[in-house]
Chain A
C-alpha cells in the first residue's frame, strides 16, 4: 500500500494563478481531510469529506474549493492564489469506525505564492 500520496510535492505560484492539489489514498478510507500547516500554528482544517461525492467546510475554507468525485481522491483547488496561502498542505484520511484523530497523513505539498 502506498498509503496517502500527494501531488505535487512543491509548487511556486504567482498571485492570481490557480492550481489543484491532488490527494490519493489506497486504503479504502471513507473520510479525507485537507489541512494547512503554518509556522507557529497548529494544523488547521480547510475542508473535509465523509464520503464520495460529499464535502464540508473546516476551520479555514475561504479561498479554497474541494471535490471528491472518487472515493480514493480528494482534490483541493485554489482559484486565485494569494500570498497568504503560502503554506504546507497536508492531506489525511481515516477509516470509518475509528476515532476522528486516527488519521493517516500524506507527505505534504509545499506551496509558495509570490
Chain B
C-alpha cells in the first residue's frame, strides 16, 4: 500500500532559526514528490516539486531534497519567519497514469517571536 509518512508531527522554533522537515514514502513506481504549505483555514499551496532525477531544489528560503534510493525527502527552511507558521504536506504521485495522489499527514510548524 502506498504511504507517505512525515516527521515530526509538530515543531516549534524561534523566529530566525532553521528547521528541517522529513518525508518518507513507499509509493511505487515513483513519479514526483511535491511539498505544499497549508496555512490555518486555507487550502494547500505548492512550494516545490521534485522529480526522480532531482536531488535538490530551492525556492527562496525553502530547499527540498530527494533521495530516490532511500525514498526520503526533506524540506529545509532557512531563517524562519512568523509567516512560515503553517502545516507542510508532502505529496507523492505514482507513475500509474491515474489521478491518485498519496498525501502525508503534514508537519505543523509554529514559529515564535
Contact = CB atoms under 8 A, between A and B. Distances in A.
Whether A and B are associated in the same complex: the answer reads yes
Interface of A: 4, 31, 33, 40-45, 48, 50, 56, 58-59, 90, 92, 99-103, 105-108
Contacts of B100: 45, 58-59, 100
Contact of A4 (B43, B98, B104): B43
Contacts of A43: 44, 89, 101, 103
B53 to A, nearest CB: 14
Interface residues of B, number: 25
User: What's the dominant secondary structure at chain A's contact region?
Assistant: loop
19 contacts: A41-B105, A42-B104, A42-B105, A45-B100, A58-B99, A59-B100, A99-B32, A100-B31, A100-B99, A100-B101, A101-B32, A101-B92, A102-B49, A103-B46, A105-B44, A105-B45, A106-B43, A107-B41, A108-B41
